[in-house]
A and B are shown apart, each in its own frame.
Chain A
Amino acid sequence: EDQVTQSPEALRLQEGESSSLNCSYTVSGLRGLFWYRQDPGKGPEFLFTLYSAGEEKEKERLKATLTKKESFLHITAPKPEDSATYLCAVQAGQGGSEKLVFGKGTKLTVNP
């Protein structure tokens, strides 16, 4: 069974204090790994897609990396507006399956 595990469940940072969120996965035939940001009561907002080990993508203060077993979301010098729940999801399987499996998320709080 495909599994996605995110850690930590919650993370509190001071403004400017860099850190990383982890997403480890066990899937058969990874087709894509996705990072989303979700604010309370809103739908997930797409951040990145990673497809192969060694791939990296950046957007403002965020950088996502991928290995064969896990992905990291690095946040550099975070600001209070970066506070949100960050969700990792994988698309796996054969035969054109479009199913996304989500991790439970990391709730990030950045204090001013």
Chain B
Amino acid sequence: DTEVTQTPKHLVMGMTNKKSLKCEQHMGHRAMYWYKQKAKKPPELMFVYSYEKLSINESVPSRFSPECPNSSLLNLHLHALQPEDSALYLCASSAKFSPEGGRYGYTFGSGTRLTVV
């Protein structure tokens, strides 16, 4: 199993709603990521979890709240979003880059297309 599975594939939510995006991988990867991608732009890093602990937060607004319940799951909780938060939200995972030079690619999910109305 070499997949990162994201649900839902599409989500439309109002600015007062609370919703969650889910990501799951069963490759034994210990680093998981959330990226945001606007149309015709490259992915922008939001959060990194390493061994289930938040290791990087790229100054993301608090209306986005990540959670890593276990080594296979990553959630992104959404609350009081703005229309400009509409984007493709991508989850990715990788085996931890080892100091000895372990060489692993990042595997991305297909993303959740979020529209905030």
Residue positions of A touching B, CB distance < 8 A: 31-32, 34, 36, 41-46, 49, 51, 87, 89, 91, 96-100, 102-105
Contact = CB atoms under 8 A, between A and B. Distances in A.
Interface of B: 4, 6, 31, 33, 41-45, 48, 50, 55-56, 88, 90, 92, 94, 96-97, 99, 101, 103-111, 113
B39 to A, nearest CB: 9
Given A41-B113, A49-B103, A105-B42, A96 B97 contact: yes
A21 to B, nearest CB: 14
A41 B88 contact: yes
11 contacts: A34-B106, A41-B88, A41-B113, A42-B110, A43-B108, A46-B107, A49-B103, A97-B56, A98-B55, A102-B43, A103-B42
Q: Which one of B45, B106, B108, B111 has the greatest number of beta carbons of chain A within 10 Å?
A: B106
Closest 7 CB pairs between A and B? A43-B108, A102-B42, A46-B105, A44-B108, A43-B110, A43-B111, A98-B31
